[in-house]
Amino acid sequence: CYIEVDENENETVDRSDENDSNNDDPDHCWTQWSNLPDHILERIFSHLTIKERYYASLTCSGWYRAFYLPHVWSNFLVEDATLGRMRYNYYSGWQPVLDHARLQSCLLSVGHLIRGLDFRPQVSFNNMFQFMSLISWAMEQNARTAGCPREWVGCGSRIRSLNYLFPCNMAMSEDPESIKLFGTGGQLLAALKRLMLCLTNLHSLSLVDLFLERYEANHLLDEVLESCCLVLRRLCLVNVTNVHCPIMHIGLFLNLQVLVVSPQNIDDDVLMLLADSKVKHLTLLQNRYTPPALAISPCSAKAWLTVRRDNPKLRVHLCVESTTNAVILLQPEAPVASMIYQTPKTMITSDQLVAAVDAYKYTLTVYGHEQLPATTAEAVGDGEFQERPDSLLLLLARSCPGLNALMVRECISTATILLIATSAQNLRHLYINRAQVRLGCDWPRSPDWTDEFYGWLQSTAASIEATEQEVSRILDHPYWHLLSEEQFQMASLTRHVAV
């Protein structure tokens, strides 16, 4: 039992006196936290760390029982300090070291309840290696034909998901944009492959930023294919390598539904395998460590046409996550359903948007830039009408009949918002940053507009309230409104992508 007391004796005495006074008060109302329903306790406990769950279980019998509820252990987060103790290192000072006694006790108690493993190391790779080795050994005991020790029965048998995020950026500089990439491998990669071999009921697997050598990447999924060929449903492989290296294994999982992969790890041969698979959603993800779009070659139009013919239900999603001015690598003739930018420095340009409209105008349903601009100059939005993306966004709304969700963070006018709402045929979700909206109609009159329509546009665009009311009516969304910067930052287009 490890109890950490931060209060001194005087404070403890004062609190005890306060509790005594509450006991003497006949009108004092006592709370019923100990009598919460199990489904509420499960959700509360699932948000706590392992230490906090343990301390909470010591309060009463009801919370002790909640400690062992299944949903509490739906995800087991492994970090540097997880089940560890501090040890002084002569060169680095105090460092967290995995406590094998705590880990063994934890696995013996709740190992049979764990449904997901999430590895997010920061400094100590040795702790993660030892954790993988011990839990793999425990699952290997369950697979023995001679029988498993009684105390280890069921340990790890319910694990359905595995997330492994390797901290590939070893730059010591405080500059957030400094990058110094190192890949994993050696004994750590061997321990990971040993663990994946033991997980025979794995439904979701995520391996991010491994940056392996080609000969290692070609055999990365050998163990997964052997143990989970029929049960794997979701696979995420981001930056397995830093160079072009197709991973052929991803087309061999017979019941795979969702695939997330970096563009440098697929080619025409992989697409041929996906054309004969059950994959419904393919996300081509570029993050801040992915090579620039100019350094990657897209798959051929012929391969994508074959995919569209043999797997008509497949939907492709293009996404970029970066702190720099990154652009999405366009795939010719691909059935792209969404394009999402999570880059604070990438602005809408005519070249990128016109190319996207020309390539995906019949399939695109979701488009937008999620994060606020990074610099103050970009956030002010004092540009003239010709310098703003108003006309480009209207072109997108008019050219893409299937557009369902649109997120705009750039400076546009209220008239542009009204034109987008009236032009997009199937638009239902429109996210606009209120701080970037300018009042008025600065559009030159189009020959196609009637006097009545142009008068309505000018009068409505003169007021924020009138604009919100009209857009709410057009979109059939009674509570639609412009978003504040805090609300815009929390909004996400991912929920409109059915993956």
300 DSSP assignment: P
The whole-number mean pLDDT for each consecutive block of 10 residues of the chain, a chain of 499 residues, reads 45 48 61 80 87 88 87 87 82 82 89 90 83 92 78 88 88 67 85 93 94 92 92 95 93 94 94 93 93 90 95 94 89 95 90 93 94 60 77 94 93 93 92 92 88 92 93 90 92 83
Q: What is the pLDDT of residue 239?
A: 93
C-alpha distances in angstroms, 289 versus 183, 238, 292? 11, 10, 9
Residues 43 and 170 in one domain: no
| Residue 89: per-residue pLDDT | 76
Is residue 442 a part of any domain in this protein? yes
- 62 and 164 housed in the same domain: no
Q: 56 and 89: one domain?
A: no
Query: Which of 465, 397, 406, 463 is closest to 433 using CA atoms?
Result: 406
Give CA angle at 347 (343, 353), nearest 5°. Answer: 110
Same domain, 44 and 169: no
Amino acid at 444: P
Answer whether residue 1 is part of any domain: no
Distances (CA, A) of 493 to 92, 190, 238, 319: 42, 37, 20, 11
**390 near 362, Cβ under 8 Å?**
no
Of 285, 289, 295, whose CA–CA distance to 180 is shortest? 289
Same domain as 412, residue 392 = yes
Has this prediction a pTM greater than 0.85?
Answer: yes
The answer on 165 and 101 residing in a single domain is yes
**pLDDT score recorded for residue 380:** 42
Same domain, 315 and 184: yes
State the helix-helix crossing angle for 301-310 and 268-275, rounded to 10 degrees.
10
Can you give the residue range of the structural domain that contains 51?
Answer: 33-69
pLDDT of residue 19: 52
Residue 25, pLDDT score: 64
Contact residues for 132 (Cβ-Cβ < 8 A; gap 6+)? 119, 191, 192, 194, 195
Any domain includes 127: yes
Asked if residue 391 belongs to a domain, the reply is: yes
Pairing type for strands 204-208 and 93-98 reads unpaired
Question: For 308-321, b where at least 16 C-beta lie within 10 A, e where not — what string?
Answer: beebeebbbbbbbb
Q: Is residue 307 part of a domain?
A: yes
Indicate whether 20 belongs to any domain: no
Domain shared by 175 and 42, yes or no: no
With vertex at residue 490, the alpha carbon angle to CA 323 and CA 414, rounded to the nearest 5 degrees, is 95
Looking at the fold, whether 179 and 58 belong to one and the same domain comes out as no
Question: In degrees rounded to 5, what are phi and psi of residue 100?
Answer: -65, -35
Report which secondary-structure segment, H or E, holds 282: strand 281-286
Asked if residue 41 belongs to a domain, the reply is yes
- In a domain, residue 7? The reply is no
* Contact (CB, 8 A) for 79 and 51: no
- Judge contact between 461 and 422, C-beta under 8 A: no
Number of domains in the chain: 2
- If DSSP codes are grouped into helix, strand and coil, which group holds residue 394? helix
Verify that 118 and 46 share a domain, yes or no. no
Query: Do 194 and 207 lie in a common domain?
Result: yes
CATH of the domain at 60: 1.20.1280
Q: 18, 50, 69 — which closes off a domain?
A: 69
Contacts of 24 (CB under 8 A, 6+ apart): none
- Do 182 and 54 lie in one domain? The reply is no
Last residue of a domain, one of 19, 46, 69: 69
Helix (H, G, I), strand (E, B) or coil at 279: coil
pLDDT at 271: 95
DSSP state at residue 497: S
Boundary residue ending a domain (50, 69, 88): 69
CATH of the domain at 420: 3.80.10.10
